[in-house]
Amino acid sequence: MEQKETLLDNLFQDFQSSFNQAAPEEKRRLAAQFYPWAEQQMDSLGILAPNNHAGGVPEDPEHPPLTTPGAFQPKNRRDTFLQDIQNLVESEIHLRQIAENIEQVFWLRDIRSDRILYVSPAFETVWGRSSQSLYADPLILIESVHPEDRVQVMVAMPLNNQKPFNQAYRILRPDGSLRWIFSRTFLIRDETGESTCLFCIAQDITDQKQVDLALHKTLDRSREQFDLSRKMSLAHKPEAVLKTLMSAHELRSAQRAALLFFDNPKVGPARGVELTAAWLSSQNLSHWLSESNLYEEPALWQLLQPNRTVVINGIQSDPRLTPLVRNFLLEAKIQTLVIFPLVASGDWLGCLLVYYKQENHFNHIELRHLKVLVDQATITLYNLKLLEVEEESRHEAERANEIKTEFLAMISHELRTPLTSIIGFTTTLLAEDVFWEPDEQRDFIQTIQQEANRLNELIDHLLVLSRLEAGMLPISQEPHSLHEIMEDALPQFHVLTSRQTLNMHLTANLPPVYVDAKRIAQVLVNLVRNASTYAPEGTEISISASVRGGFVQINVNDQGPGIPPAEHKRVFKAFRRGVNIENGSVQGAGLGLAICKGLVEAHGGRIWIKKKTTPGATISFTIPLVPSAGTPENPMEEER
């Protein structure tokens, strides 16, 4: 008998030694096998199974058992099994150390009562809630799931085929932050094969999800870049290029957009800008009355940058905006302005302006993506410009002989008409067989004088134009008052506008301008003559002036038929003539606007036709203010 007891003691000591040396996973497997067998042997001998408080697994003084509010006293064999599992998790030293140090969360839940038997400490870090709150209310596991994912989590349940069940869902923490969770759940069965509890291991995969989301966004952007680049390369008009570009994901919420091209890319916006194309988010969007004025404002030009994108949020308070530019933007209810430079072949061609009615913040990845699209659009627009210039040059070359013939016919007609009148009236006066009364003779002489003046004016225009083209026309710039220049030209204005109403809007405090007064008066007279030629009788012709940076901008506005956008640049070429809408006749020699352009540019200014939606045409030009100390006398010299 004693030998048997000694043998049993040796066997048990060997088992303890092997158990202590085993890995945690092996210990858990051995314990799971040993406990049911030991319980069966005790039941057969009529011995009650000990619990943790009566002996059982010894406590480690350095790692006391975890306090588990979900602990309960066993009432039957099933409860005893659940108690054994709970005790195993809490009391086994190595298993507890693992539970306290791994990032994953795991918990045990009773299937029948839904009670949480155990939850690892990592729950508090991932869910942002205390373990005590979960023991008290297991529904927290469902209530914390994001509303969009809650149904799929509630209906999911591991099948009885012993295969784990995987899920990915979002949870909302008490601080409002969102975390992505990946969980793996499986059933635990007792010795009879009955499912008693759920074991779930959950891991925070938020960082991984964010990386995956960033990769998906990058892939989507790459696809969008390829698709939109292909579509833009097939476009034949700037409007089509802009429309395609504005279909990019980050630009779809914009209210409107505008493509601005510089008149002289070498010097940027200082020499003027042209609205090449515009885009509206809706056809019902109200018209922006001040848009054309905004693009002519030098304060806006200062915001344009050739090497970086400019984002302006908070139109009301951004210090980079002048009051005038701010008012223009607020008129259209703009809250965010984004300005992209258009650069191709090393030249700063212009800018894309995108307007949002709400504040829109971009990160550097979005801006980089948009820059790629804008660069592709710029290349397409640059190629379209080259094609347009080539086509126009070819068209002009093809019409060179035709233009020469038209020029000779026009000059012959313009010269012959006054000469015919002069010869006719002088012949009449010299006729010996007719006696003319003094009043009649005076009328004939006045007609001869008018026709001679007309002939002299035509010859003078031809000489001025030829000298301008050769760069030989002397320009004597001196400080002058614009009011005085206007007053000197006023008698000619009244004669030219005898069929219309002339209004002048000049502020009293306009600074002096640095011009050749005679030549600028000639520009004004030519523009007023042009307006009176095409404006219907009884309409208004107005002249206004305002300061724009270092220049004064003068506008001559009429209520005539207007000038088609396609002709806005061509009308300043020599021998371009319009048609009078009242009698359908072709007017003048087509030299007036060409001379105006040459004279204005000789002063360092520029001249253009404003785009407008109201009837009529507005021709604007700039002349320099008196230069301050250290400023070159001719602004063109600085730009060169």
What count of other Cβ atoms lies within 10 Å of the Cβ of residue 465? 19
**pLDDT digits 0-9 by tens, 15-69:** 666 666 666 666 666 666 666 666 666 666 555 444 443 333 334 444 344 444 4
pLDDT at 181: 93
| pLDDT of amino acid 419 | 76
pLDDT score, position 43? 63
Q: Give alpha helix (H) positions in 578-620.
A: 592-602
Please give the pLDDT value at position 133. 92
In three state form, how does the secondary structure of 271-305 look? EEEEEEEEEECCCCCCCCCCHHHHHCCHHHHCCCC
Architecture in CATH of 474-639 = 2-Layer Sandwich (3.30)
- Over range 460-481, report the average pLDDT: 76
- pLDDT at position 450: 76
What are all long-range contacts of 365-369, with beta carbons under 8 Å and residues at least 24 apart? 365/217, 366/250, 367/309, 367/311, 369/221, 369/224, 369/225, 369/248, 369/250
Closest by CA position to 506, among listed 490, 518, 522: 490
Tell whether the model's pLDDT for residue 573 goes beyond 50.
yes
399-473: CATH topology is: Helix Hairpins (1.10.287)
**What confidence score (pLDDT) does residue 476 get?**
85
Q: How confident is the model at residue 282 (pLDDT cuts 50, 70, 90)?
A: confident
Lowest average pLDDT, out of 269-273, 380-384, 601-605, goes to: 269-273
Output the pTM of the full model: 0.59
Tens of pLDDT along 329-347? 998 889 999 999 999 888 8
* pLDDT value at residue 421: 77
State the SS3 of 173-232.
Answer: CCCCCEEEEEEEEEEEECCCCCEEEEEEEEEECHHHHHHHHHHHHHHHHHHHHHHHHHHH
Q: What pLDDT does 174 receive?
A: 93
Please report where in the chains the tokens 């300043």 appear, as a residue.
572
Mean pLDDT of the chain: 78
Q: Which residues of the chain does CATH 1.10.287.130 include? A: 399-473
Mean pLDDT over 463-488 rounds to 81
If you average pLDDT over residues 200-224, what whole number do you get?
A: 86
Choice between 302 and 631, residue whose per-residue pLDDT is larger = 302
The residue type of 371 is K
Positions of CATH 3.30.450.40 in the chain? 214-390
Q: What is the pLDDT of residues 531-560, one digit of tens each?
A: 888 888 889 999 999 888 788 999 999 988
pLDDT at 108 over 90: no
Model confidence at 180, in pLDDT bands (50, 70, 90)? Answer: very high
Looking at 185-194, 202-211, 477-486, which range is the least confident one?
Answer: 185-194
- Backbone φ and ψ for 46, nearest 5 degrees, come out as 75, 30
Question: What phi and psi, each to the nearest 5 degrees, are found at residue 342?
Answer: -110, 105
Residue 569 confidence (pLDDT): 74
Among residues 547, 503, 512, the alpha carbon closest in space to that of 296 is found at: 547
What class has domain 20-204? alpha beta
pLDDT score of 621? 92
Alpha-carbon gap, residue 633 to 638, rounded angstroms: 9
Average pLDDT over residues 226-234: 87
Q: C-alpha distances in angstroms, 523 versus 328, 551, 599, 605, 634? A: 30, 16, 7, 12, 18
Domain 214-390, CATH class in plain words: alpha beta
Q: For residues 346-366, give the mean pLDDT.
A: 90
Mean pLDDT check: name the lowest of 181-190, 221-230, 630-639. Answer: 630-639
pLDDT for 637: 37
